[in-house]
Amino acid sequence: MITDIHCHLEAVEPENIATFIGAGNKIGAVSMTLESAQQLLILKRQYPDAIELFLGVHPEATTDETMIKAVIALIHQHRCLLSGIGEIGVPFFYLDDKTAAEKQQLKRQGAQLMARFVAIAADYNLPVNLHVVEDDIELALPILQQYGVEGALFHWYEGTAIQLARLHQQGHFISVSPWIFVDDHYWQFVQTIPLSMMLVESDAPCQYNGKKGDPSMIVDVVVALAKHHQISVDDLTAVLALNTRKYLRK
């Protein structure tokens, strides 16, 4: 069994969901907006044992206070169905055209929103699934420490050796995506991630070399990682399963 720990499942073709889950695998489904959260709740009821459900508001989604409060209400209402809180974090990619001062302000605002969801995760003793890029760990880590949230997942994270060491020392996890087959710089970074903090993800429907992402892609990711670390696919699958259980607090 392999768990795709970060997937926008409502955007995956139903037959592909059925095939992946039918092979005995699981999917960590993260919401971006109120609409996606509602769609994921339907899928969770369809596959109650195979979907690890995370609800949150993506830091780069177009949103407002009404939507944020509605998603928070869903979290409280459906606590028994949740595996964690996410996708939450700090905005990064849509800030390219902003000035340095604007970026700083928007990141601070994003961090404040992240803190609201982290506080909920702390209250319910749930893990968090984070969108935090490069230097933005400087904003995210103090929030996790403030609320005592340990073992966070930094999805598709890439940074410096020093940043990786900090995340490792603090007991956090990093999930590896099929981007290893697209970007050699990312693949080089992934090779330095300690196996003890590694999970895998598709981030579907994110595209890879023009191909729509799908949970099945993580099978090839596991094969590539096993080859690099010179261990069997079965052994690496066992390591990833253990890491996933630790992350999900099971």
More confidently predicted of 250 and 5 = 5
Tell whether 87 is in a known binding site.
yes
Tell whether 229 is in a known binding site.
no
> What would the pLDDT profile of 168-223 be if each residue is shown by its tens digit?
999 999 999 999 999 999 999 999 999 999 999 999 999 999 999 999 999 999 99
**Strand, coil or helix: what is 110?**
helix
What is the pTM for the complete model shown? 0.95
Estimate to the nearest angstrom the gap between the alpha carbon of 190 and the chain centroid: 16
- DSSP for 126-141, written as a single string: --EEEE--GGGHHHHH
**Helical (H) or strand (E) element with 3:** strand 3-7
Tell whether 214 is in a known binding site.
no
Q: Give φ, ψ of 59 to 5 degrees.
A: -65, -15
- Residue 8: the pLDDT is 98
Q: Judge whether 90 and 131 are in contact, CB under 8 Å.
A: yes
- Cis-peptide, bond into residue 87, ω within 30° of zero: yes
Domains of the chain, residue spans: 3-209
Cα distance between residue 185 and residue 176, in whole Å:
13
Cα distance between residue 20 and residue 121, in whole Å:
28
pLDDT for 98 beyond 90: no
Sequence letter at residue 9: L
Q: Which residues, 6 or more positions from 231, have their beta carbon under 8 angstroms from its beta carbon?
A: none
CA dihedral 246, 112, 75, 25 (to 10 degrees): -40
Tell whether 78 is in a known binding site.
no
Q: Give φ, ψ of 74 to 5 degrees.
A: -65, -40
Cα distance between residue 194 and residue 21, in whole Å:
27
Tell the CATH topology of 3-209: TIM Barrel (3.20.20)
Tell whether 76 is in a known binding site.
no
Query: Cβ–Cβ contacts within 10 Å for residue 125, how many?
Result: 9
Tell whether 203 is in a known binding site.
yes
Cα distance between residue 53 and residue 27, in whole Å:
8
Cα distance between residue 189 and residue 158, in whole Å:
7
- Residue 94: the pLDDT is 73
Q: Give φ, ψ of 234 to 5 degrees.
A: -65, -40
Mean pLDDT of the chain: 96
Q: How confident is the model at residue 52 (pLDDT cuts 50, 70, 90)?
A: very high
**Burial degree of 101 (CB within 10 A; 0-12, 13-18, 19+):** exposed
Q: How confident is the model at residue 33 (pLDDT cuts 50, 70, 90)?
A: very high
